[in-house]
Structure 1
Amino acid sequence: MRKLFVIGIGAGDPDQVTMQAVKAMRQAEAFFLIGKGDEKRELVQVRTTILAEYVDTPHRIIEIADPPRERTPADYTGVVVDWHERRSELLEAAFDQVDGVGAILVWGDPALYDSTLRMVENVLARGRTSFDYEVIPGVTSIAALAARHRQVLHRIGEPVHVTTGRKLREEGLRDGSTVVMLDGECSFTQVPGDDLHIWWGAYLGMPDETLIAGRLREVEARIVARRASLRAEKGWIMDVYLLR
């Protein structure tokens, strides 16, 4: 493979795909799609829908089965590093199948809570294959959340802290506003305080998009119940929220 595009495709709405992303996709001869099993097949379908809408040049799709990993390990960093290494091995084998230009479509933006760029660097570090790569930014779920709730992420002169549910439970809230991603434990229920507000969204940009906002203590039980119902119905969930 001579070149690889790592393309951010937004939070799920095909209309969020940028013209820069479309131009890059039209140069690719093969697209590498990392599948996450039958339960999350919809994530692959969104990508194939985007390709059908925007790419009219000949191309092929190479699916890669995502290797499993432990979700609640004692050594979180060690488990994730091992998972990235196994993913990198699969990507390297897939890259060997392409002699021209390839592309990976990344949910949201490749620079925010996504491991694709690390895996690409891992492949190059092995020294068995050589190629150039270019990163195309995408609309993040954070930007989509703010837009759908019509919110500015920060108040005047204040910072915005972006973190995970695990870190929120360990470290609590910081000054300013806090955006929380990758929270399977509804960690907002463990944050003390009666003066907090939350803006929550799931499946942003998709047909099942769900939004809830209000005083945290008044809506937290509703969010927990709705999140559990959606996850049970679809088998997976992607959500993000702003706390202030």
Structure 2
Amino acid sequence: MIELWLVGIGTGNPRHLTAEARDALAGADAILIPEKGAGKDDLAALRHAICDAAAAGVPRHGFALPRRDPAIADYAARVEAWHDRIAEVWIETLDAALPRGGRAAFLVWGDPSLYDSTLRIADRVARERPLSLRVVPGITAIQALTAGHAIPLNRLGGPVTITTGRRLRAEGWPEGADTVVVMLDEGGAFATLPPEGISIWWSAYAGMTQEIRIAGPLAAVCDQIVARRAEARAAHGWIMDIYLMRRD
């Protein structure tokens, strides 16, 4: 039997680790580290830095993260096939790291339950191997965003809609929404909206030392965000950003 612990690590800042997360990493027999390839070495390096601080003596096992197959046109089918392949790589890595069973930890950006497919991939692994699953919650990018801008997530008594950049591009402003949080945006989906009457709070690398924050009326700051985002991506080779918008 393998115990698989999915550990939320916040936004890459080692100080975002909870005491429970530190204990989970220190108590593991192996830690799995995905390697996303050239240009994204920073992400693996951040995971290693967190392990250095919280679980220096625990063996780490890196694995190459498969890429999505661009030949599959349908988005949902492409992602499902990608998750199947990742699950296969997880199984190979777990078998090599813990041939006699034990506890494995996997570091998850933010929280494993929010716009993250790690739990769905773990479910695939559990169909093929005896697996006990534990989840340690972490600080989410939404929390880092609102804290960085010192704003509440919702208006008084108001609802919040959480969506993706892909859906915002395809469907526009969610019907009936007042406050919208957008995650997993490949770049500038907010620029497809009619900007009048919308305010935006945007953060890149939220919670990290290189965090960038821009806020204001969308009509006034849209171009600034698009340009700053491109500059940051070119400088670091990757970018994670998130933003909140409200109707004025």
TM-score bracket, normalised by the shorter chain, equals over 0.9
Q: CA deviation at 1:125?
A: 1.2
Paired residue for 1:154? 154
- Residues 219-230 of structure 1 aligned to structure 2 (within 5 Å): 219-230=221-232
Which amino acid letter does the alignment assign opposite residue 148 of structure 1?
G
Matched residue of 1:179: which SS? strand
Q: CA deviation at 1:131?
A: 2.2
Q: Deviations over 1:174-229 (max 9, x none)?
A: 32100001111301111114111000000112221100000100000000000001
Matched residue of 2:40: which SS? helix
Structure 2, gaps ≥5 residues long: none
| CA distance in 2: counterparts of 1:185 and 1:52, whole angstroms | 32
Which amino acid letter does the alignment assign opposite residue 235 of structure 1?
G
Paired residue for 1:32? 32
Paired residue for 1:10? 10
| CA distance in 2: counterparts of 1:71 and 1:142, whole angstroms | 30
Which amino acid letter does the alignment assign opposite residue 117 of structure 1?
L
Which amino acid letter does the alignment assign opposite residue 30 of structure 2?
A
Which amino acid letter does the alignment assign opposite residue 61 of structure 2?
I
- Residues 94-105 of structure 1 aligned to structure 2 (within 5 Å): 94-97=93-96, 98=98, 99-105=101-107
Paired residue for 2:90? 91
Q: Report if aligned partners of 2:10, 2:16 keep a CA contact under 8 Å in 1.
A: yes
Q: 1:203 aligns with which of 192, 202, 205?
A: 205
- Residues 161-200 of structure 1 aligned to structure 2 (within 5 Å): 161-174=161-174, 175-200=177-202
Q: CA deviation at 1:74?
A: 3.4
| CA distance in 2: counterparts of 1:59 and 1:14, whole angstroms | 17
Q: CA deviation at 1:6?
A: 0.5
Query: CA RMSD for the aligned pairs?
Result: 1.4
Q: CA deviation at 1:38?
A: 2.0
Matched residue of 2:39: which SS? helix
Aligned residues: 241
Quick one: percent identity of the two aligned structures?
43
